[in-house]
Amino acid sequence: MFFVIHKDQIEEVRSRADIVQIVNGILPLKKSGKDYKACCPFHEEKTPSFYVVPAKGFYKCFGCGESGDVFSFLQHLQGLEFTEAVKQVAQSVGMEIKEDRGFDAVTDPFSHLYQANAFALKYFEDALWDEEGGRQARAYLEHRKINREMCDRYSLGFAPNDWKGLRAAALSHGIADDELLEAGLLSKSDKREEPFDRFRGRITFAIESTAGKVLGFGGRLLDISGQRGAKYLNSPETPIYHKGSILYGLGIAKNSIRREQLALVVEGYLDVISLAQNGFENVVAVLGTSFTREQAELLGRYTKNVCLLFDSDRAGLKATFRSADVLLESGVHPSISSLPSGTDPDAVVHEEGADALATYIDEAVDVLDRKLQLLNELDHFSDIEKTRKAIDRLLPTIRAVQDSALQDIYVSKVAEHTGVRRETLELELSKVEAGLPEPFVQSSPQKKYNTSQPVPSMGAEKELLFLLVNYLGMVERAGERLGPDDFTNPNYRTIFRLLLEQSDFTEILRRLDPLANSIFQDILSNSRELSEVVRERIFVDLVNRILSSKMQEKLDHIDQLIRDNEDEETLTQLLAEKIQLGQERRELGSDWSAVTRKTFK
């Protein structure tokens, strides 16, 4: 039976707990004005940047960005589930916790999805180690030199080549089709009357949260007779699985990343497992072609140093530099390892050895230096026209930097390589990109060249929330153009929905889960002072950027439907939808003045 803690008890524990006393029992604190400080337990540092604010009941590290309340402190530091953290704090204040299943109990609305994924994981694991049924899957893993320990550690499994194997097994355990469909474990097709297993004839990789909950799966196709499809297949977007917000293997690697103060980022599941098996435990993988802002911010909680180990072909380099700029925008410093052309980290480890890969990592260079190397190799500084194009390729990386000193170094390097005066480069950097407003006016000094950048370490969704909590009069207007579903980040989506419902921040904090609560506290702890003209321009731009992103998501979905469909009538309809949506998106981004008049008429 599933029991939970009543929300009133949680609030009583929170109100009775002294966050200073609890943190100080684990981490010695020193008084600093009204607050307390210490060296952060979540990353290595010599100068204290970790602060506990007793008046507000939360902590924040200004070095790595980690923040939250007394419960999240124990969760993150000791790897506890939320209920375990509540019980531990309750025990420290002498309070007895009673668990129940009452209406007002704090339940996870997505617990059925976690349970469905947990069942699927066991089904896949059992299939992998079935003596006969899993033979071919085990042979493939042996060929890839993946041992049993790594299979267990990373929760590898096998989805048999059966259209209804998982479905039937789940049904026999009381898990309905609707739950499996919502979890992305079943698929539907016009060609089949009933739902069918999404993963078939594949090695499965459990994609877990940092707390170890299974959010979704990846699958690698095996060479099984009659089985066709993409080589790799992931779970679709679900209420708990958002590809752009997750890093594969982070839950396992996070402690090593904190200890080493370096994260190795690779492209594939097997790269992660192979490297971890060979001693590189601080390794994670992106679940796509390049970093998203959410992934960069997530990794930035554990380290500010990242080594990108992507392929060295054209597509790999493109993904590398795109990822590097996103990391820089999020305050994380990327270096780039130059692996031999046509190889990957897994191949290097098995063909050249772990020491060889360690050398490639040690020899990784700064992202700007790598760009300059490649441009030199391509002879891009040989004449005026090529040099101008080279500068255009270098400027985005310089603009992305959040550290003023590093940005100054970058400007000097580019000036030296191109022969262009520093003043000219600074002028280029100071230009506001077409259609974008200047960033929020902050109380802290602004960097010299960041007038064309968005607010550091925030995507448009989080920027908008910062704006709304500082100017509540804009909330209703935001609700007229956006709905919660327009937000891709589930935590931002929840916060926006609650802002539409009420303006009582204390009540909003009470209704948020621990992670969203921590995010909202971070938003509330930052104040913004904006002139009316600037905030109007920022508001319009942020709303348009969110809408544009949502439209692009729909366009990508239509493209996928077009690729998967062969019916001429359906294709004609899809193409018409694509053209119409593309036109709307272009109009949204191109006619700034018209959008402004429409929004503020």
Q: Which two tokens stand for residue 338?
A: 């130059």
Residue range 305-316: average pLDDT? 87
The per-residue pLDDT for range 179-226, each reduced to its tens digit, is 999 999 999 988 888 999 999 999 999 999 887 889 999 999 998 656
- Sort 55 into a burial class: Cβ within 10 Å, 0-12 / 13-18 / 19+: exposed
Query: Would you mind telling me the total number of residues written for the chain in this entry?
Result: 601
What is the structure's pLDDT at 442? 34
Query: What whole-number distance in Å separates Cα of residue 305 and Cα of residue 300?
Result: 8
What percent of the chain stands above pLDDT 90? 35
The per-residue pLDDT for range 142-183, each reduced to its tens digit, is 999 999 999 999 999 999 999 999 999 999 999 999 999 999
Between 189 and 115, name the one with better pLDDT. Answer: 115
Query: What whole-number distance in Å separates Cα of residue 573 and Cα of residue 583?
Result: 16
Question: What value, to the nearest 5°, has the Cα angle with vertex 37 and ends 447 and 66?
Answer: 60
Q: Which domains does the chain have, with CATH numbers?
A: 4-100 (3.90.580.10), 111-241 (3.90.980.10), 247-363 (3.40.1360.10), 460-600 (1.10.860)
What is the structure's pLDDT at 436? 34
What is the structure's pLDDT at 245? 84
The candidate with the shortest Cα–Cα distance to 184, out of 238, 142, 141, 119, is 238
Neighbours of 480 (CB within 10 A): 9
Quote the distance between the C-alpha of residue 34 and its chain's center: 34
Q: Using 50, 70 and 90 to split pLDDT, how confident is the model at 46? A: confident
Long-range contacts of 49-58 (CB under 8 A, 24+ apart): 52/19, 52/20, 52/23, 54/18, 54/19, 54/20, 56/521, 56/525, 57/14, 57/19, 58/19, 58/518, 58/521
Q: Which two tokens stand for residue 483?
A: 């709905």
Ranges 287-301, 307-321, 333-347: which has the least confidence: 287-301
What is the structure's pLDDT at 589? 52
Say if residues 206 and 220 touch (Cβ distance below 8 Å): no
What is the structure's pLDDT at 527? 60
**CA distances for 366 relative to 194, 221, 286, 359, 369, angstroms:** 52, 36, 20, 15, 5
Between 431 and 600, name the one with better pLDDT. Answer: 431
Query: What whole-number distance in Å separates Cα of residue 91 and Cα of residue 73?
Result: 16
The candidate with the shortest Cα–Cα distance to 179, out of 160, 166, 162, 192, is 166
Residue by residue, what is the 3-state secondary structure of 96-123? CCCEECCCCECCCCCHHHHHHHHHHHHH
The candidate with the shortest Cα–Cα distance to 273, out of 203, 360, 210, is 203
Q: Which two tokens stand for residue 164?
A: 């209804």
Give the highest mean pLDDT range of 32-36, 75-79, 175-179, 187-191: 175-179
What is the structure's pLDDT at 587? 67
What is the structure's pLDDT at 127? 97
Neighbours of 384 (CB within 10 A): 9
Between 387 and 196, name the one with better pLDDT. Answer: 196
Q: Using 50, 70 and 90 to split pLDDT, how confident is the model at 334? A: very high
Q: Which two tokens stand for residue 285?
A: 């993988």
Q: Using 50, 70 and 90 to split pLDDT, how confident is the model at 423? A: confident
What are phi and psi for residue 194, nearest 5 degrees? -120, 155
Q: Using 50, 70 and 90 to split pLDDT, how confident is the model at 530? A: confident
- Sort 218 into a burial class: Cβ within 10 Å, 0-12 / 13-18 / 19+: buried
Residue by residue, what is the 3-state secondary structure of 303-366? CCEEEECCCCCHHHHHHHHHHHHHHHHCCCEEEECCCCCCCCHHHHHHHCCHHHHHHHHHCCEE
pTM reported for the whole predicted model: 0.62
Residue 588 pLDDT > 70, yes or no?
Answer: no
Residue with tokens 């060249």: 449
Say if residues 579 and 586 touch (Cβ distance below 8 Å): no
What is the structure's pLDDT at 279? 95
Residue with tokens 């439209």: 551
Q: Using 50, 70 and 90 to split pLDDT, how confident is the model at 529? A: low
Residue 86 pLDDT > 90, yes or no?
Answer: no
The per-residue pLDDT for range 222-272, each reduced to its tens digit, is 986 566 778 899 999 888 888 888 999 998 998 899 888 899 999 999 999
The amino acid at 494? T
Q: Using 50, 70 and 90 to split pLDDT, how confident is the model at 79? A: low
The candidate with the shortest Cα–Cα distance to 581, out of 600, 564, 559, 597, is 559
What is the structure's pLDDT at 387? 87
What is the structure's pLDDT at 528? 60
> Would you call 197 helix, strand, or coil by DSSP?
strand
Query: Whole-number mean pLDDT of the chain?
Result: 83
Q: What is the DSSP letter of 6?
A: B
Between 350 and 564, name the one with better pLDDT. Answer: 350
Query: What whole-number distance in Å separates Cα of residue 151 and Cα of residue 83?
Result: 29
Query: What whole-number distance in Å separates Cα of residue 308 and Cα of residue 287?
Result: 14
Query: What whole-number distance in Å separates Cα of residue 323 and Cα of residue 539?
Result: 27
What is the structure's pLDDT at 102? 45
Q: At what angle do helices 7-16 and 82-92 cross, to 10 degrees?
A: 50
The per-residue pLDDT for range 93-113, each reduced to its tens digit, is 888 877 654 444 445 578 889
Q: Using 50, 70 and 90 to split pLDDT, how confident is the model at 594? A: very low
Residue range 434-452: average pLDDT? 34
What is the structure's pLDDT at 226? 61
Say if residues 227 and 201 touch (Cβ distance below 8 Å): yes
**CA distances for 231 relative to 163, 222, 227, 308, 492, angstroms:** 18, 8, 11, 23, 33
What is the structure's pLDDT at 44? 72
Signed CA dihedral, 552, 557, 563, 569: sign only: negative
Residue 134 pLDDT > 90, yes or no?
Answer: yes
Query: What whole-number distance in Å separates Cα of residue 240 and Cα of residue 182?
Result: 10
